[in-house]
Amino acid sequence: MKTNIQPFHLAIPVQDLEKCRRFYRDILNCEEGRSAEHWVDFNFFGHQLVIHQKDAFQPEKISNPVDGYNVPVPHFGVVLTWSDWQNLSEKLKATNTKFIIEPCIRFKGKVGEQATMFFNDPENNALEFKAFKDIGQLFAK
């Protein structure tokens, strides 16, 4: 598995720029980068996330069944180390985050076993954070 990866860039729409700014900065501890009146850049775990203020939009909510869970689509997130995932999970529980899928282990005892959790940002963008005890399982078949 290649370990030197280039960061991805993701831009998402939000209605309440300041509320989302506080969420990504203060709850997820993402360092804020450049910004303007209608957008903010963040260091999203080594990747570039930009929130763009967009008035009156409604993202479509659908899900797919995965290992007994209804996984929201679309969603985005990061693969963390096991300890970073546990620390974030505890922080989110302590801040009374409402989970779509509570922190759990999916595919237990199978190829691709992983810790995962899903929750929404303040604009209902679905986020998934996951971790593998064996990172070699990330792309295993």
30 is a domain residue: yes
Taking only the tens place, the pLDDT of each residue in 26-84 is 999 999 999 999 999 999 999 999 999 988 666 677 888 898 889 988 899 999 999 99
Backbone φ, ψ for residue 93 (5° rounding): -65, -40
| Whether 49 contacts 30, CB under 8 Å | yes
Position 21 in a domain: yes
14 with 73, same domain: the answer is no
Radius of gyration of the chain (CA): 15
**Which CATH number covers residue 77?**
3.10.180.10
Last residue of a domain, one of 53, 71, 89: 53
- Structural domain boundaries enclosing 129: 62-137
List, in order, residues 6 or more apart from 41 with CB less than 8 Å away.
32, 33, 34, 35, 48, 49, 50
